[in-house]
Structure 1
């Protein structure tokens, strides 16, 4: 099977588009926020339902697929904070979760 490598620059561009969308106030934003929070800390912030992809524009779903493809080509876990997006994630968590949820949402690397 051939593997199409996904480079870090493409992944970071996709992440930045996803973060921008998650900071907005739409149904797509909520789905994207759930994806990002599940990547950050699924046990505390909830998991991403794969069917949520069906409610996204194709370009947004492609950005999620890019991130997943990038993560899948590495052995071991890579969390979003390791790529330099910790502050962005704290903003998204604060926007989409209650204060009690936010307190529980520590980085998986803590």
Structure 2
């Protein structure tokens, strides 16, 4: 799907916006980071409680649902690497997860 609310372009735009939010330091940014890191590696980075959507504004929730909608249209796993965001995700792990290194 090349166009529409769940297209790769829409997901790419939503991901860029979510990463920018997760780089800040607010309650919403923590929730966004939880979503992104659960997508990146939920087993090691924790899962995303669906109730976290209640703690973000409508625009952020739309970005999250855009990503979920895009992922739901594809067979197999697609991770942020597919959008060229590996470095950004590693940065978010360092910012939001303390693995006792």
Q: Could you say which TM-score interval applies, normalised by the shorter chain?
A: over 0.9
User: Normalization by structure 2: what TM-score?
Assistant: 0.92
| Distance in 1 (alpha carbons) for counterparts of 2:44 and 2:5 | 31
Larger Rg: 1
Gaps of 5+ in 2: none
Please report the RMSD computed on the Cα atoms of aligned residues, expressed in angstroms: 1.3
Alignment size in residue pairs: 98
* Alignment partner, residue 97 of structure 2: 97
Structure 1 residues 74, 97: CA separation in 2 closer, same or farther (over 3 Å shift)?
same
Does residue 29 of the first structure (1) align with residue 29 of the second (2)? yes
Q: Which stretches in structure 1 are left out of the alignment for 5+ residues? A: 104-110
Q: Which residue number in structure 1 is paired with residue 54 of structure 2?
A: 54
- Where 1:76 maps in the other structure, the secondary structure is coil
The change in CA–CA distance for 1:29 and 1:58 in structure 2 (over 3 A counts) is same
Q: d(CA) in 1 for partners of 2:70 and 2:99?
A: 32
The 3-state SS of whatever aligns with 1:90 is helix
Using the alignment, how far apart are the partners of 1:57 and 1:86 within structure 2?
Answer: 26
